[in-house]
Amino acid sequence: MSNPHIGGSARTAPVAPWQEAVAEALARLGWSDSARIESIATDIAVVVVDAFLDRDLLVDLSGSTTFSLSVVLEGSGRLSARGLPPVEAEAGTAVLFACSGSASGEDLFRGGRRFRVVDLRFEESFLMRTGDARLSSLAERCADAAGREGDAIFLAGFPAPANLLQIANDIAKTPPSDALGRRLYLHGKAVEALGAAIDALDGIAKGRRPPRPQERERLLRARDILERDFRSNWTIERLAREVGVNEKQLKYGFRDLVGQPVHAYLTALRLDAAAQMLRQGVSVADAAVSVGFGNLSHFSKVFRENKGVSPSRFARLD
């Protein structure tokens, strides 16, 4: 396998058929340069996509046996699998997909926006090894159905809880590296994500209410406002008033939908913008003021806590 976007331990382990299918699908979508596929263990792999779509894309996709957990961080679309109802997926949606044998469907990716998703792939051997009846029985049912009928498919979308969104964001932001420590970190995050997804499905089955469509739309608008105008002094009160929800709805709903509290998300936006400015040669003081920090020492402290190095040292990094 020579695909440059399949890395990690995939260089020393056989490439699974689904990896070939995903790499081919990414190429058809024009996303090969905006995605990475990494095998972090013999039975777990991570796919991260970060691409901008200038138009809607409707694509016929097909693949082979796989079990995946996808978390949409930005963008929206509609996912489908032959014989099953389609799943509407937008920012904050998690999707569990399993098939034994072959599967095909027509997927829609909506344009005019950034599309960012973390997709985790687990081999059947991992599911069986967990000893969890919910996972091992799913694997067994798919295998049994495939033996009888040729194919078995499972597709479910649900609102991703805050901890799952945070895990997905952590995975997406992990810089590429061949270091063993990084692979172990991603391995732990992938397993943690699957656990969070299963717990979330249990919660839905027990009747915990996800955000209503109108509330979800307003919370997503709050996120969009912060992304467009992160330099302003946004408070919970001001932002809640701007989007038409009460402060409690914003405080807890935003965290559940986006995966971070409002203030943490705003801070991350500011620090990412500041980091970009530092790379471009802007001084530490000017970068701090430009992104909304009024106190230079506070900016330096927060930057170090989030980026691991001081702003001045970050500016000197290649």
Tens-digit pLDDT profile for residues 105-120 = 788 888 888 889 999 9
> Residue 10's pLDDT is what?
39
> Residue 247's pLDDT is what?
92
- Radius of gyration of the CA atoms of the chain, in A: 21
Q: Which domains does the chain have, with CATH numbers?
A: 6-205 (2.60.120.10), 213-316 (1.10.10.60)
> Which of 36-45, 126-135, 147-156 is most confident?
36-45
Q: Which of 101, 93, 54 is nearest to 259 (CA)?
A: 93
pLDDT band at 235 (very low <50, low <70, confident <90, very high): very high
Cβ atoms of 250 and 222 closer than 8 Å:
yes
> Residue 85's pLDDT is what?
83
Please determine, for residue 174, whether its predicted confidence score (pLDDT) is greater than 90.
no
Q: Strands 103-109 and 6-8, how do they pair?
A: unpaired
Choose the weakest-confidence range: 98-112, 188-202, 294-308: 98-112
Please determine, for residue 74, whether its predicted confidence score (pLDDT) is greater than 60.
yes
Mean pLDDT of the chain: 80
Q: Taking the CB of residue 248, how many other CB atoms lie within 10 A of it? A: 10
Please determine, for residue 140, whether its predicted confidence score (pLDDT) is greater than 90.
no
> Residue 208's pLDDT is what?
52
Looking at per-residue pLDDT, the higher value among 208 and 21 belongs to 21
> Residue 308's pLDDT is what?
84
> Residue 288's pLDDT is what?
95
Q: Strands 6-8 and 35-41, how do they pair?
A: parallel
Q: Strands 44-53 and 57-63, how do they pair?
A: unpaired
pLDDT digits (tens, 9 = 90+) for 254-297: 877 776 789 988 998 999 999 999 989 999 999 999 999 989 99
Q: Would you state the structure tokens that stand for residue 217, as one six-digit string?
A: 């739309």
Percentage, residues of the chain above pLDDT 70: 80
Report the pLDDT averaged over residues 220-229.
93
Crossing angle of the two packed helices 247-258 and 213-228, in degrees rounded to 10: 80
Cβ atoms of 175 and 208 closer than 8 Å:
no
Report the pLDDT averaged over residues 23-52.
82
> Residue 11's pLDDT is what?
42
> Residue 70's pLDDT is what?
92
Whether the model pTM is above 0.95: no
> Residue 230's pLDDT is what?
93
